[in-house]
Amino acid sequence: MEKILIIDDDKDIAELESYLLKEEGFETVIKNTGEEALDEVNKTKYDLILMDIMMPGISGIELCAKIREKVDCSIIFVTAKANLVDKMVGFEVGGDDYITKPFENQELVGRVKAHLRKDKRIREQKNNNIIKIGEIELNKESYEVKKNNTKIDLSTREFELLRYLMENKGIVLSKSQIFDSVWGSNYGEISTVAVHIKNLRDKLDKEEKYIITVWGYGYKFVRSIDE
pLDDT per residue over 199-223, tens digit each?
999 999 999 999 999 998 999 999 8
Among 3.30.1330.60, 3.30.160.620, 1.10.1060.10, 1.10.10.10, what is the CATH number of 130-221?
1.10.10.10
Question: Average of pLDDT values for 69-75?
Answer: 92
Residue 70, φ and ψ in degrees, nearest 5? -110, -20
Lowest mean pLDDT among 92-96, 99-103, 120-124, 140-144: 120-124
Higher pLDDT, 82 or 175: 175
The pLDDT tens digits of the residues spanning 19-71 come to 999 999 999 999 999 999 999 999 999 999 999 998 888 888 999 999 998 99
Q: What is the mean pLDDT of residues 2-15?
A: 96
Q: Which residues contact 6 (CB under 8 A, 6 or more apart)?
A: 14, 17, 18, 21, 28, 29, 30, 31, 49, 50, 51
Residues 214, 208: Cα–Cα separation, whole Å: 12
> How far is it, in rounded angstroms, from Cα 172 to Cα 187?
23
Residue type, 158: E
Q: Give me the CATH code for the 3-128 domain, please.
A: 3.40.50.2300
The reply to whether 130-221 shares the fold of 3-128 is: no
Mean pLDDT lowest among 3-12, 90-99, 115-124, 183-192 = 183-192
Domain boundaries, the chain: 3-128, 130-221
pLDDT at 62: 92
Pairing between β-strand 97-100 and β-strand 74-79 as defined by DSSP bridges: parallel
| pLDDT for the residue numbered 116 | 95
Whether residue 227 is predicted with pLDDT greater than 90 in this model: the reply is: no
DSSP secondary structure letter of residue 209:
S
Asked if residue 34 lies in contact with residue 7, where contact means CB atoms within 8 angstroms, the answer is: yes
The answer to whether the CB of 77 falls within 8 A of the CB of 95 is yes
> What is 59-77 written as a DSSP string?
-HHHHHHHHHTT--SEEEE
The reported pTM is 0.64
How crowded is the C-beta side of 70, counted as CA atoms within 13 Å? 18
Q: Are the C-beta atoms of 110 and 84 separated by less than 8 Å? A: no
pLDDT for the residue 109: 96
Average pLDDT, the chain: 91
Upstream peptide bond of 56 is cis (omega within 30 degrees of 0)? no
| Strand, helix or coil for residue 99 | strand
